Every structure is written in structure tokens, then in C-alpha cells.
């Protein structure tokens, strides 16, 4: 098992049975938590927005006095705080546990500055969230703005709380820079491989391709 502490990666050796038990324990806890947060809602979009609100309101920004931890997304919930990556990681993982494809990735501007964004699939296409800053995007008719609509300049930001962040803060990263995603295919990422079936698919892909896993 790999664990990052203040930028240093530690390798923790566990017996196989304990790794399996811990994996299933986290898997069942993810299912329980996602159900607790969204179980009273009917539609996928309502559930996604509820997870977005919950993540932004519940997980606090990384305190300067505490170490930066990078382990499993579940640890972020247990700690109750995290850095930008941690918060996107937990949000996108929980989206997968309500049956919605989601992942987070980093986008770069021409000046090499960057921003993390979570990409989530709804019926109309892929939409974008920033749970760390509590910001998401709607189109001119009030629906969640898809990647295609953002690329066509049909979007504005919605804020969960008072902040100086504006639309201009995102334009340099996402306009004409968002990928046109059709499906995830075999490109399973961290947020998608917390369930047993997807983890098995991921490991099979690693074994067949001969590549070392990015995550352990």
C-alpha cells in the first residue's frame, strides 16, 4: 500500500488477507455513505448535486498546521479535511458509487498554472464541477452545462458560497481545453476502481499490458 505524507511516498507492506479485508471494508463504507447522502433523492442529477454540496460543506480545506495526506479517498472522509486533490478524489469516487461515471483531472493554462476539475456524466453529456471551491457550471437555460456547451461559450458559474472567484478564473483553463469524452472505456482511474469489479478489470488490464499499476 502506498501512502503520501507531505509529498513523500511511503510503502506500507500488509499481508494479502488484510489488504483484501480493508478493500472490502472501504467498498462497503462508500456504498453506505453514498446512500446516506443521496438515498432520499430520485434522479441522478439531484444525487450528483447533493454529493457536490455535501463534499464542499463537509470536507474542510487542508489546515496549514497538519500534514498533507494522500492515501485512500475514504481517509479524506474520516479526517474531515483535505487538499484540492483529496476533495475532488472523494467527490468523484462517491459519484461512481451512485452509478455515475466520474473522475477528476488537472487542466493547464498557457502560463503553466493549473486547476483541478471533476468531470461527471449525466444523460445530456459530461459536466464539470469544482467541489473544492464550491463552483459548478450551468448553461443559458439553467441546465448543467455540458463540455460541448462550455466550449461553445454557453455557460456561467454558480457559487455555493461567497467568493471572489469569477468566470474569468476558469476561462483560461477550460474554454476549448475540455476533452470531448464519449466513454471511459478501459481508462479506469482512481475514482472508478474502488469497487471490486472495476478493480479486477483494472488489474487485468495491468497484467495484460505489462504496465505497473499507478495506484496500489
- CATH code for the domain in which residue 30 is found: 3.10.620
- The verdict on residue 83 lying in a domain is yes
- The verdict on residue 48 lying in a domain is yes
Count of domains forming the chain: 1
- The verdict on residue 194 lying in a domain is yes
What average pLDDT score do residues 105-115 get? Answer: 87
> pLDDT digits over 144-153, tens only?
999 999 989 9
- The dihedral region occupied by 25, where left means phi > 0, alpha psi between -120 and 50, and beta the remainder, is alpha
- The verdict on residue 215 lying in a domain is no
Lowest mean pLDDT among 40-54, 55-69, 106-120, 187-201: 187-201
What does the pLDDT read at residue 182?
57
- The verdict on residue 216 lying in a domain is no
Residue that wins the pLDDT comparison between 104 and 202: 104
Q: What pTM does this model have?
A: 0.83
Q: What residue numbers bound the domain in which 116 lies?
A: 2-209
pLDDT level of residue 30 (50, 70, 90 thresholds)? very high
Amino acid at each position: 500500500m502506498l501512502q503520501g505524507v507531505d509529498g513523500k511516498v511511503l510503502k506500507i507492506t500488509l499481508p494479502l488477507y488484510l489488504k483484501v479485508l480493508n478493500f472490502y471494508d472501504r467498498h462497503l463504507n462508500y456504498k453506505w455513505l453514498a446512500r446516506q447522502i443521496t438515498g432520499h433523492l430520485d434522479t441522478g442529477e439531484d444525487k450528483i448535486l447533493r454529493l457536490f454540496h455535501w463534499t464542499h460543506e463537509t470536507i474542510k480545506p487542508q489546515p496549514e498546521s497538519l500534514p498533507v495526506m494522500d492515501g485512500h479517498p475514504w481517509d479524506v472522509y474520516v479526517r474531515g479535511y483535505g487538499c484540492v486533490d483529496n476533495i475532488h478524489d472523494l467527490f468523484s469516487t462517491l459519484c461512481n458509487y451512485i452509478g455515475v461515471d466520474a473522475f477528476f483531472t488537472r487542466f493547464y493554462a498557457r502560463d503553466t498554472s493549473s486547476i483541478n476539475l471533476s468531470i461527471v456524466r449525466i444523460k445530456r453529456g459530461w459536466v464539470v464541477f469544482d467541489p473544492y471551491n464550491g463552483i459548478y457550471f450551468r448553461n443559458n437555460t439553467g441546465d448543467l452545462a455540458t463540455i460541448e456547451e462550455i466550449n461553445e461559450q454557453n455557460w456561467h458559474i454558480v457559487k455555493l458560497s461567497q467568493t471572489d472567484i469569477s468566470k474569468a478564473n476558469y476561462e483560461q483553463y477550460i474554454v476549448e481545453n475540455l476533452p470531448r469524452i464519449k466513454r471511459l472505456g478501459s481508462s479506469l482511474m482512481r475514482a472508478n476502481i474502488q469497487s471490486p469489479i472495476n478493480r479486477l478489470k483494472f488489474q487485468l488490464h495491468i497484467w495484460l499490458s505489462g504496465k505497473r499499476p499507478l495506484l496500489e
